[in-house]
């Protein structure tokens, strides 16, 4: 059973964003007001576990309360496009667990680099199925695309939490083998 909630009021979003900010321990430095000291990653983790609408609402509220913190949080969040930063074997593992219909919807309007990363990491028969799904899907609502992408991102996060894959974030160095 899936329940939906109405849109949150700006006041409610502000309260949630402020509470998350406080709980995450995002403390402004005494030396420089624009310098944020630690505590951002727990906030990012909380937002990353939210559904698309909650994520958007919290980020908008955070943008109003603290634009610099909102920018930092966005920079650290895992997105669908980040799939291109993963190792081939990790992409393959992720894609094995994703329904072809969900993947086809998620790929709608995706940058070419993402399409290439997915296509090169899907096996022959599965690629045929994916291409057929994409061709037959037709126009899709943007909200459906966002939800499909969010489902894949949740899958990536779960595999990362299990230690099954490694996700490089931001400007982390490449591995040397």
> For the purposes of burial, counting CB atoms within 10 Å of the CB of 19, is it exposed (0-12), middle (13-18) or buried (19 or more)?
exposed
Q: Which residues does 21 contact at the CB level (< 8 Å), separation at least 6?
A: 43, 62, 65, 66, 69
pLDDT digits (tens, 9 = 90+) for 101-135: 999 999 999 999 999 999 999 988 999 999 999 99
CATH class of 80-161: mainly alpha
pTM of the model: 0.65
What is the domain partition of the chain in residue ranges? 10-76, 80-161
């Amino acid at each position: 059973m899936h329940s939906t909630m109405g849109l949150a009021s700006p006041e409610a979003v502000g309260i949630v964003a402020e509470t998350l900010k406080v709980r995450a321990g995002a403390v402004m430095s005494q030396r420089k007001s624009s310098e944020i000291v630690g505590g951002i990653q727990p906030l990012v983790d909380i937002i990353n576990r939210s559904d698309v609408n909650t994520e958007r609402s919290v980020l908008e509220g955070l943008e109003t309360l603290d634009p610099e913190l909102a920018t930092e949080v966005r920079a650290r969040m895992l997105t669908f496009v980040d799939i291109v930063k993963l190792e081939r074997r990790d992409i393959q593992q992720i894609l094995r667990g994703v329904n072809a219909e969900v993947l086809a919807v998620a790929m709608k309007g995706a940058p070419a680099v993402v399409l290439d990363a997915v296509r090169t990491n899907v096996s022959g028969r599965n690629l045929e199925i994916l291409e057929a799904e994409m061709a037959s899907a037709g126009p899709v609502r943007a909200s459906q695309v966002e939800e499909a992408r969010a489902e894949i991102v949740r899958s990536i996060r779960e595999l990362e939490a299990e230690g099954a894959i490694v996700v490089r974030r931001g400007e982390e160095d490449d591995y040397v083998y």
